[in-house]
Amino acid sequence: MDRHLSISVYAFFRGYHHKMCCLPSSAPTGRVNSFASALMALAGLFFGFQTPALAKEVVIGVFAYQGEQVATSDWSPMLNYLNAALPSDQFQLASFDAQGLRAAIAQHHVDLVITNPGYYVAMEYEFGLSRIATLATHQALSTSKAIGSAVIVRADRHDMKELSDLAGKRMAAVAPQAFGGYLVVAREMLHQGVDPESDLTEVRFMGLPMTNIFAAVQSGAVDAGIVRACLLEQLNPQGALKRSDFKVLSPRHEPGFACALSTPLYPDWPIAVTRTTDRTLAKRVAQALLNMPETPSGLSWSVPTDYQTVHDLYRELRIEPYAYLRESTPKALLLRFWPWLLGLALLLVAWGIHTVRVEQLVQRRTAQLRDSLDAREAAEARMRDHQEQMEHLSRLSILGELSGNLAHEINQPLTTIGNYARSVLRRQADGRLTPEAVQEACNEINNEAERAGGIVRRIRHFARKRSAVRESTQVPQLAQEARRLILGMLRHPPTITIDDQSLPQAQVMADGPQIQQVLLNLIKNAIDAGRDLPLERQAILLRLETTDNRLLVQVIDQGCGLSEANLSRLFEPFFTTKPDGLGLGLPICKTIIEAHGGRLWAELNQPGPGMRFLFTLPSHVTTA
Ligand code: ADP
């Protein structure tokens, strides 16, 4: 009982309160209904009779753009239906102008809101309005294509055909915030390059009814006017304002839509609940409205439609809830460009991650490369060491083979020296020692000592351990030295002829001892090939010539030669036909020559007999 009373008394005050925000022209419907409820509750309290359980009051706030009376008559059939369909709720209508409706929602004075799509979208975010159904009318193509506007001018204005012709003209509209009465046209004007806020001489906001706008256009007070679609078609053909007096700018054809239009069609009015509306009530009302039979004026409710096109309109015009798009504060710019900024930030993050990754990869690869270079350098150094050792061994091996008679060779000058020394002593004992004899003996001793020293020096020089050095080298000189070394070491050396055709000014950058080693190796092999053959076949010819920036050296013998099979294996390591051979001489010679940028190969000495070993070295002719 008490609860019913309190609800009704509260409803009374709420209804009364509506007056503040309702259109001032007349008392709000809600107030009368609340007052009746309160009276009934009071009667029950005082007279002690049990009233039937009082229904819970539900206030439907309506945007009454044509005034309260029209709103009441328009929405009464729906109100009656809801009260009948949901007897546990007592529905009341409260009419408001745009501002009043906003205030009523803000103060939680309404449970349900019926307004045009523009205000709905404007308040959707601010008050958490949520549509539960969209109006369906016969006139509309569908719930999402219902509201449009026509821009009218006098039929005799031949200078105006398109919305773009409005630049510099005067235009009448309902109000700056009126959806069909201004905004939908403003958007189309922008599309046609006319800014309604700056490109028109005047925009005259004349409020409702829209007949004022027709009159203003007809009288020439303004050049054009914005009216709701289909209003033009409803003009009385006999009235003061006739259809034929006006024409529509930028007429659009929407198939199935009977009225003239200058704009696209937008969704119809929604009915919405607020953030505080009871959810079960919202569900009950939505179900009831979807089942509501068509009213005599042709209204019914359908499932809520999509209001995205209305959002797009507000965004393009940059008005609430997109008014921030006009501001240039950091916050507004952030709100406006956040998708771009977010994209940019993501791009930067991705780029940063990519850069860091690439940097890490580069560092890792660089370290790997450095390690492998170090390893390669170490391997190369080891290889160089081994090569040097091999070359040294090879030199010692050549000496070993050639020095069979070394003792004998050195012994000869020593014997001569000894003989001269003894002869001097004998002459002295005999008293026959003349100064001339002493001088002759000393000269001979000196010569023989020089000869023995020369042999030892050359051998030591050849046999010493050393690292390779590249310098300007005279290969003919090296050939002479090699010849001398061999002749000095062998008891019965063969004839070694040097035929030097090379240009004296041809320079070779080479390691002298290494090239000499090659020459000695080839000469030694040639001597081996002629061993035990008649003397004339033991002769060896060294030919040097200059060809195309190359020095060509040939070591030609007339020895035993080689079979085809052995010829192909000549440069294989450890290939040897000698009982005490190592088979390393030729591979080492080949490595040395190729390391100098040259080539070493062998041919049969045509027409024979014997072999011909050839090698080239890069050379350049100096002009100086
Ligand atoms: P080694 O002299 O220790 O055998 P080499 O590599 O210097 O090693 O020579 C390999 C082989 O090539 C020799 O055993 C020999 O059969 C052959 N050879 C080299 N030079 C000649 C040559 N001038 N005439 C014939 N055969 C040769």
pLDDT digits (tens, 9 = 90+) for 308-322: 999 999 999 988 788
Q: Looking up tokens 């002759």, which residue turns up? A: 440
| C-alpha 576 to ligand 1 mean position (Å) | 6
- Whole-number pLDDT of residue 34: 42
Cα(470)–Cα(17) distance, integer angstroms: 111
Ligand 1 mutation target, pool 586, 588, 604, 615, most atoms within 8 A of CB: 586
Q: Which atom of ligand 1 is nearest to the CA of 584?
A: 6
Please give the share of the chain, as a percent, with pLDDT higher than 70. 87
Q: Which atom of ligand 1 is nearest to the CA of 610?
A: 24
- Whole-number pLDDT of residue 105: 95
- Whole-number pLDDT of residue 33: 41
Cα(444)–Cα(437) distance, integer angstroms: 11
- Whole-number pLDDT of residue 118: 92
- Whole-number pLDDT of residue 21: 36
Taking alpha carbons only, the member of 86, 106, 96 closest to residue 60 is 96
Q: Is the confidence at residue 73, as pLDDT, over 80?
A: yes
- Whole-number pLDDT of residue 555: 97
> Dihedral angle at the C-alpha atoms of 282, 288, 293, 295, nearest 10 degrees?
-40
Please give the share of the chain, as a percent, with pLDDT higher than 90. 57
Taking only the tens place, the pLDDT of each residue in 539-565 is 999 999 998 889 999 999 999 999 989
For 37, the enclosing helix (H) or strand (E) is helix 29-47
Taking alpha carbons only, the member of 172, 165, 154 closest to residue 227 is 172
3-state secondary structure 267-297: CCCEEEECCCCCHHHHHHHHHHHHCCCCCCC
Q: How confident is the model at residue 11 (pLDDT cuts 50, 70, 90)?
A: very low
Cα(540)–Cα(537) distance, integer angstroms: 8
- Whole-number pLDDT of residue 408: 60
| C-alpha 491 to ligand 1 mean position (Å) | 22
Phi, psi of 93 (to 5 degrees): -105, 135
Q: Report CA torsion sign: 313, 317, 318, 320.
A: negative
Going by alpha carbons, the residue nearest to atom 16 of ligand 1 is 577
| C-alpha 298 to ligand 1 mean position (Å) | 119
Q: Which atom of ligand 1 is nearest to the CA of 587?
A: 6
Give, in order, the Cα–Cα distances in Å from 469 to each of 384, 386, 518, 616: 13, 16, 16, 19
Q: Which atom of ligand 1 is nearest to the CA of 557?
A: 23
Taking only the tens place, the pLDDT of each residue in 193-212 is 999 999 999 999 998 788 89
Half-sphere exposure of 10 (CA within 13 A, CB side): 12
Going by alpha carbons, the residue nearest to atom 20 of ligand 1 is 525
- Whole-number pLDDT of residue 349: 96
| C-alpha 500 to ligand 1 mean position (Å) | 25
Cα(532)–Cα(559) distance, integer angstroms: 10
Residue 616: beta bridge partners? 552, 599
Q: Is the confidence at residue 23, as pLDDT, over 60?
A: no
SS3 call for 527? helix
Q: Which of 295-299, 339-343, 552-556 has the highest mean pLDDT?
A: 552-556
Going by alpha carbons, the residue nearest to atom 11 of ligand 1 is 576
Q: Is the confidence at residue 166, as pLDDT, over 60?
A: yes
Q: Is the confidence at residue 15, as pLDDT, over 70?
A: no
Tell me how many degrees the CA angle 368-371-377 measures, rounded to the nearest 5: 140
Ligand 1 mutation target, pool 517, 522, 528, 555, most atoms within 8 A of CB: 528
The burial class, CB within 10 Å (0-12 / 13-18 / 19+), for 565 is exposed
Cα(447)–Cα(439) distance, integer angstroms: 12
Higher pLDDT among residues 31 and 455, named by residue:
455
Cβ < 6 Å from ligand 1: which residues?
A: 521, 525-526, 529, 557, 559-562, 570, 575-578, 581-586, 611
| C-alpha 577 to ligand 1 mean position (Å) | 7
Q: Is the confidence at residue 106, as pLDDT, over 50?
A: yes
SS3 call for 603? strand
- Whole-number pLDDT of residue 585: 87
| C-alpha 455 to ligand 1 mean position (Å) | 26
Q: How confident is the model at residue 12 (pLDDT cuts 50, 70, 90)?
A: very low
Q: Which atom of ligand 1 is nearest to the CA of 586?
A: 6
Q: Is the confidence at residue 406, as pLDDT, over 80?
A: no
- Whole-number pLDDT of residue 13: 30
Q: Is the confidence at residue 528, as pLDDT, over 70?
A: yes
Phi, psi of 528 (to 5 degrees): -60, -40
Going by alpha carbons, the residue nearest to atom 7 of ligand 1 is 585
Cα(552)–Cα(108) distance, integer angstroms: 111
| C-alpha 407 to ligand 1 mean position (Å) | 26
Taking only the tens place, the pLDDT of each residue in 433-452 is 888 889 988 998 998 898 88
Going by alpha carbons, the residue nearest to atom 2 of ligand 1 is 581
* Average pLDDT of the segment spanning 142-149: 94
- Its pTM stands at 0.48
> Dihedral angle at the C-alpha atoms of 239, 244, 246, 247, nearest 10 degrees?
150
* Average pLDDT of the segment spanning 286-290: 95
| C-alpha 75 to ligand 1 mean position (Å) | 122
Taking only the tens place, the pLDDT of each residue in 487-504 is 877 778 899 999 999 998
Beta strands in 5-144 (DSSP E): 56-63, 89-96, 112-114, 130-136
| C-alpha 379 to ligand 1 mean position (Å) | 30
Q: Which atom of ligand 1 is nearest to the CA of 588?
A: 6
| C-alpha 12 to ligand 1 mean position (Å) | 129
CA 531 to chain centre: 76
- Whole-number pLDDT of residue 287: 95
* Average pLDDT of the segment spanning 614-621: 92
Q: Is the confidence at residue 31, as pLDDT, over 90?
A: no
Cα(435)–Cα(427) distance, integer angstroms: 11
| Sequence-ordered list of residues with C-beta below 8 angstroms from that of 239, at least 6 positions apart, any chain | none
What the block records as the tokens of 428 is 């002295």
The burial class, CB within 10 Å (0-12 / 13-18 / 19+), for 278 is middle
Other Cβ atoms less than 10 A from the Cβ of 118: the count is 27
* Average pLDDT of the segment spanning 103-125: 93
3-state secondary structure 531-595: CCCCHHHHCEEEEEEEECCEEEEEEECCCCCCCHHHHHCCCCCCCCCCCCCCCCHHHHHHHHHHH
* Average pLDDT of the segment spanning 474-483: 93
Cis (ω within 30 of 0) for the bond into 304?
Answer: no
| C-alpha 457 to ligand 1 mean position (Å) | 28
Is the separation of the CB atoms in 175 and 203 below 8 Å? no
Cα(252)–Cα(151) distance, integer angstroms: 11
Is the separation of the CB atoms in 325 and 312 below 8 Å? no
Q: Is the confidence at residue 143, as pLDDT, over 90?
A: yes
